[in-house]
Amino acid sequence: MAMTSRASTEPGPADIRGRVAELDSIREKALAGPSRQATEAQHAKGKLTARERIELLLDPGSFQEVEQLRRHRASGFGLEVKKPYTDGVITGWGAVEGRTVFVYAHDFRIFGGALGEAHATKIHKIMDMAIATGAPLVSLNDGAGARIQEGVSALAGYGGIFQRNTKASGVIPQISVMLGPCAGGAAYSPALTDFVFMVRETSQMFITGPDVVKAVTGEEISQNGLGGADVHAETSGVCHFAYDDEETCIAEVRYLLSLLPQNNREAPPRVRGADYIDRRSDALLDLVPADGNRPYDMAKVIEEVVDDGEYLEVHEGWARNIICALARLDGQTVGFVANQPQTLAGVLDIEASEKAARFVQMCDAFNIPIMTFLDVPGFLPGVDQEHGGIIRHGAKLLYAYCNATVPRVSLVLRKAYGGAYIVMDSQSIGADLTYAWPTNEIAVMGAEGAANVIFRRQIAEAEDPEAMRQKMVKEYKAELMHPYYAAERGLVDDVIDPARTREVLIRSLAMLRRKHADLPSRKHGNPPQ
């Protein structure tokens, strides 16, 4: 009888099917979101829903959601009667080109994407999983900041995110995609990540919004004027990439991920194309003028050298006097740092130093070799630069290069003057290989300036000062600035035919592939800030 009693209380097949049907109904509600009207309102703003964004980011059918049925436990201010599934954030993992990627996406349709305790806990969990498994983390941000109804609990949730961002820094790639208004704490997490993407018109980032700015300072400004994509891509430098629509933006996130490793213990994936290792680039002979005072587009030089002419420029709109880009050489991901003579003659200034330093650190953290192309007349002079701390900011780039242990190859195309020559990965600060074109001019300063200093008395006492000055300039160039001066002293490993640049760089990388270098034992350095 006892056995019969136990059997009668166990759920039969019909009960299991009923529970599965119930689960399917709940899941359908979670997948649909709060309402059709909320979805239509999101679309009316030119924005996709969180799930639509995840579908664009990940390979089809690869997304595995975590804590879909999570609901908040808060009460007060009407929260006890509004407990939607997911609590306004979708978390999980999937694949991009077959490699694991973790993702969380704010759902603006639920509480405006605002962060509460349960919401934050879901994000903490997925971040911990990404760190533990060594896979990239992508955040699709569209949230209104902390959930005010939950008070300090929401703020503590942000603290947990910031702590994990810092823990993951240099361990796994972290990419923030800004797809809506992100204010206050919601803007700090992206600032801690490796790359920030924004969409024009629909995404903004600011610590305090226009209303607060007006109340405190009296200044009137729109959301886009204060923290829109172009502002952060061109003025503040907060944003690395800006696009006109979400589809293009997310497609570029996928492309960036294809260039990066899963974590700091791996090399980036190697993807060989149809380009030849020994392809000559005769176009370079005409692309770069021998006259050091004539500008040209350094981006075209990079395009001519890399595989299939494809590269991804980072911070394209900010500090345009220097180029930072990811590309491939013989299928291997490489980071390019190059002066841009088209803007400010390619000088180093505060913003260019910061931009390049951050890029060098990122490449070094993720095992990406660094190619440095020099055509630099020096640091930008001026009161604003000196008072703004050009010494301190320039030292950031110097520190980043000196600290980098990845393969480093530098190439002097034309000018390489003064301290800027040293800072731009010269042999003296640890470049593994240094090459130069026959058009190189490596010196303390330009010949004209040097002659004016060294031969000041002779020029002043001459019957024809200008003729004497020209004579001394010519003499200085012949003695100290000829193309082989540095090579004769071992400061340049070789002077190469510009048309062979691609081949030389690829063969150098092949030799350096197994390079290993240890830094001194220490908790961490104290880089200039």
Buried b (16+ CB within 10 A) or exposed e, 392-414: ebbbbbbbbbeebebbbbbbbbb
Q: Give the residue carrying structure tokens 């972290």.
A: 174
Active-site residue identified among 94, 116, 143, 185:
185
Q: Please indicate whether residue 184 is annotated as part of the active site.
A: yes
Region for 189 from its dihedrals, namely left if φ exceeds 0, alpha if ψ lies in -120 to 50, beta otherwise? alpha
State the virtual CA torsion across 322, 240, 238, 398 in degrees, nearest 10. Answer: -40
Active-site residue identified among 356, 420, 436, 486:
420
**Rounded Cα gap, residues 380 and 362, in angstroms:** 25
Q: Please indicate whether residue 430 is annotated as part of the active site.
A: no
Please, which residues have CB within 8 angstroms of residue 11's CB and are 6 or more apart in sequence?
19
Q: Please indicate whether residue 185 is annotated as part of the active site.
A: yes
**Rounded Cα gap, residues 433 and 411, in angstroms:** 9
Contact call for residues 64 and 92 (beta carbons, < 8 A): yes
Pairing of strands 195-199, 181-183: unpaired
Q: What are the beta bridge partners of residue 182?
A: 205
DSSP secondary structure string, 164-210?
Answer: HHHHHTTTS-EEEEE-SEEETHHHHHHHTSSEEEEETTT-EEESS-H
Active-site residue identified among 88, 143, 184, 292:
184
**Rounded Cα gap, residues 513 and 360, in angstroms:** 18
* CA 138, chain centre distance (Å): 13
Active-site residue identified among 134, 317, 388, 419:
419
Catalytic residues: 184-185, 419-420
